[in-house]
A and B are shown apart, each in its own frame.
Chain A
Amino acid sequence: MGLTHQSTGLELMKEILLDQIKSPGNFVIALAGNPNTGKSTVFNSLTGLNQHTGNWPGKTVTNARGRFTHNNCNFTLVDLPGTYSLCANSSEEEVARDFICFGMPDAVVAVVDATCLERNLNLVLQILEITGDVIVCVNLLDEAERKKIHIDLNKLSELLGVPVVGTNARDGRGMEQLKDAMYKMAAGIIKVNPVKVVYDDVVEGAVRLIQPYIEKNIMPEINSRWLALRLIEKDKTVLDSFKKYIGQILEENDDICCAMEKTEQYLKQNGIEEEVLDRIVASIVKKAEEICRASVVFEDVQYNHFDRKIDNILTSSTFGIPVMILLLGCIFWITLQGANYPSEVLSSWLFWIESRLTEFFAWTALPEWLHGALILGMYRTTAWVVSVMLPPMAIFFPLFTILEDLGYLPRVAFNLDKFFKKACAHGKQALTMCMGFGCNAAGVIACRIIDSPRERLIAILTNNYVPCNGRFPTLIAMAMIFIAGGEGKYRAVVAAISIIGVIILGIIITLFVSKILSATMLKGLPSTFALELPPYRKPQIGRIIVRSIYDRTIFVLGRAVMVAAPAGLITWILANTYAGDASLLHHCATFLDPFARMLGLDGFILTAFILGFPANEIVIPILIMSYMSYGHMVELDSLNSMRQLFLANGWTWITAVCTMLFCLNHFPCGTTLLTIYKETQSIKWPLIAFLINTATGIALCFSLNLIFRFPVVATAQYTYLRWLTCRQ
């Protein structure tokens, strides 16, 4: 479970150590810090690498690496997962600790949040116990200034005994000084005198007992005082890491075993056995408090007043959830309304190119099948994916990123946690679901922020109930064509409401399935829950637009096109290779048809979903192609002509609703299943995810279809159909 060693620990370390050996002018810098301190922004600002940043804890789920040069030296920057401490409570903390301790970076940059210095210093003090080569980067200075929090950086540096640099990574302030400090630290120009947390007499006595034995037996690069403290608090993970990275089995070393026994007796004599850990942590926290008191001035005691006011609305017991739905609704409405026109322009432009290409083919007298395969198969599918996906994504992603940047997503988790608790799941699952809106594979990876393995698995298995952007085009098309119908004035509003409905249904199914999973396969009680609600931050609109288009839209679109082109080709071949009197696709659809009819779909729709297994984006294009090759040739340049095509193929609004339901609840795409396999290291869980999701879809569609086949509803359906045909 969790982080694999390949992606984080040993492999990365080996690689970095090798790098160092190869060229001595290279420095390795580790970037550590609490979650949500703008660590990723610092990383991006230094390396120019576009790691996606967001205002919610736990964003960096794998170690990102980047390079930059300064003063003719090469720096490799390793972005460690954001942690509150280094005590190996979770895989992230273990990775961060092991890299700082055993990766032997030339310097560690500890990024701290200027608006919450005290809590952040806890981690800094823990890092300082491992290594003195630390630069403290006090980030988010503009937020602190806005809240009238004054930090005396010189005083802080004096108290900590290491260099302190004030930065505002978002606008690049202080980054040059930070680079200078890194250079000086790595080159050994700066001498540090790191502050030592002094523990109470008993703990110090125990350290004195064990430390000499450690110094005698262990390589000098490892801080003996730090190791002594870990041995006193009986941290087993340190012993394991020692074995893993140094190859030394400490518990088999006679000297150390003997010293440990002595220490244990000594602690027993002094009456503290269990509390030793408490005493150690408490001393660090108190030290952080002391340093903070001496170096920070809060001019405005009510500095968080504004945040609390916003919270009063966004997490209010009356308005919290309605505002959440409204916000989401607005985003979809803007997306649908705004994407209409560009989508049409793009599509007519792309189809104009298609006709030119067709003319070219006619002119060169290339065989007809080549034209069919390349233009009608590959090009048309790709063009459809681009024209339908690009505009909504280019609008949706920046809007969603604004919410993310503001710090709204943790509030969503806060609002919804009670429901997740009832389902015996973790509140942070709401955050992973938000990631799922972008891409379910990303959502599955984001599940690493949940510590408890049981709850993490629940979150992984149910992530697919959130429609990813690959499925949005299908949902949007269905909602616009069949539910909103025709050209009405409030079309986008109705479509947005129905999509919200689908999402809410997805959330309900998620909770329901989570509950069932915790009662059966993944039995257990909800584990601990501590969620930080970070301060609201002013979103940087310009950067958001650039980043969300560059990072997400182009990336997702690129992947969709990569899949769409070959899939289009294959579908065309299937639709145009005849066996007997019908095409292969037709045979396949006929075979699936009886089953599909029971689900309120038809054979072609089900075939399209199956062929869309590599990526959900291509379901609709495949469907259109299948129908068109089936004999109904239409010029497909707008949603309206798509409706004609679907109606001609016997669609009713029940077909549309069932397609939407099946789109929401069917097997996860290939990428997501592969990610589940990678995350769980077992073939069992992707299989289960496949089965659970598909079973939900089948059950829902089947029952809905059954209900709507009753005479009363059939009449209503008939009336609606009449109305639809009248309007044409």
Chain B
Amino acid sequence: MENLIPLNNLPIGSFGKVRKLTACGNIRRRMMDLGLVCDTKVKALRKSPAGDPVAYEIRGAVIALRSEEASKILVELP
């Protein structure tokens, strides 16, 4: 479990596997509806011009998340 990092620290261009969501309530549900459940592979695609938000590839869709939300998703580096 030592490889666990928040998604916003995932370097651009690399993959991570979702291990844990620390968000709760509506936000948590919304993340899960986007397919962010355990074992989901997420790729950090690119930063927006101002550095935040970051676009991620999640189950074939491209979703932009702000760093606040991304920090609530813990991913494991391969």
Contacts and interface: CB of A to CB of B under 8 A. Distances in A.
Contacts of A85: 29, 33
Contacts of A414: 48, 53, 55, 64
B63 A530 contact: yes
Contacts of A534: 62
- B21, B31, B62, B63 — most chain A CB neighbours (10 Å): B62
- B33, B50, B57 — most chain A CB neighbours (10 Å): B33
A417 interface: yes
B37 interface: yes
A285 interface: yes
Nearest to A535: B62
B66 A417 contact: yes
Contact of A528 (B27, B50, B59): B27
Given A85-B33, A415-B50, 6 more contacts: A304-B62, A414-B55, A528-B66, A528-B69, A529-B68, A530-B69
11 contacts: A84-B33, A87-B29, A116-B60, A116-B61, A119-B59, A277-B29, A415-B49, A530-B30, A532-B61, A533-B62, A533-B64
Contacts, number: 126
A421 B66 contact: yes
A419 interface: yes
B51 interface: yes
B27 to A, nearest CB: 5
Contact of A418 (B26, B45, B51): B51
A321 interface: yes
Interface string B41-57: 00001111111110101
Interface in B3-38: 21, 26-35, 37-38
A307 B62 CA distance: 10
A315 B33 contact: no
B65 interface: yes
A246 interface: no
- B32, B47, B58 — most chain A CB neighbours (10 Å): B32
A282 interface: yes
Contacts of B38: 282
Contacts of A415: 48-50
Contacts of B53: 414, 417-418, 427, 529, 531
Given A87-B29, A417-B53, A532-B62, A320 B48 contact: yes
Contacts of B61: 116, 119, 532
A282 B51 contact: no
Interface in A415-432: 415, 417-419, 421, 427
A278 interface: yes
Interface string A59-85: 000000000000000000000000011
Contacts of A486: none
Given A320-B49, A414-B53, A530 B34 contact: yes
Contact of B63 (A115, A278, A304, A531): A531
Contact of A282 (B37, B45, B46): B37
B29 A281 contact: yes
A317 interface: yes
A529 B65 contact: yes
Contact of B66 (A87, A119, A315, A529): A529
Contacts of B57: 304
A119 B32 CA distance: 11
A285 B35 contact: yes
Contact of A421 (B21, B52, B62): B52
Interface string A308-350: 1001100111101100000000000000000000000000000
A534 B64 CA distance: 11
- Top 9 A-B pairs ranked by shortest CB distance? A418-B50, A320-B49, A85-B33, A282-B37, A533-B62, A281-B32, A531-B64, A529-B66, A84-B33
Contacts of A532: 61-64
A529 B69 contact: yes
A531 B64 CA distance: 5
Interface in A504-549: 526, 528-535
A289 interface: yes
Contacts of A317: 47, 49, 51
Contacts of A528: 26-27, 30, 66, 68-69
A405 interface: no
A118 B32 CA distance: 13
B71 to A, nearest CB: 12
Contacts of A312: 46
Contact of A417 (B21, B31, B48): B48
Contact of A117 (B32, B50, B60, B66): B60
A229 to B, nearest CB: 14
A346 to B, nearest CB: 41
B29 to A, nearest CB: 6
Contacts of B52: 417-418, 421
Contacts of B60: 115-119
Contacts of A282: 32, 37-38
A418 B66 CA distance: 9
Nearest to A422: B50
A318 B55 CA distance: 17
A233 to B, nearest CB: 10
Contact of B26 (A89, A118, A427): A89
A268 interface: no
A516 B46 CA distance: 31
A71 to B, nearest CB: 36
A122 interface: yes
Contacts of B35: 118-119, 122, 285, 288
A216 interface: no
Contact of A285 (B27, B30, B37): B37
Nearest to A531: B64
Contacts of B59: 116, 118-119, 289
B8 to A, nearest CB: 13
Contacts of B68: 526, 528-529
A117 B60 CA distance: 8
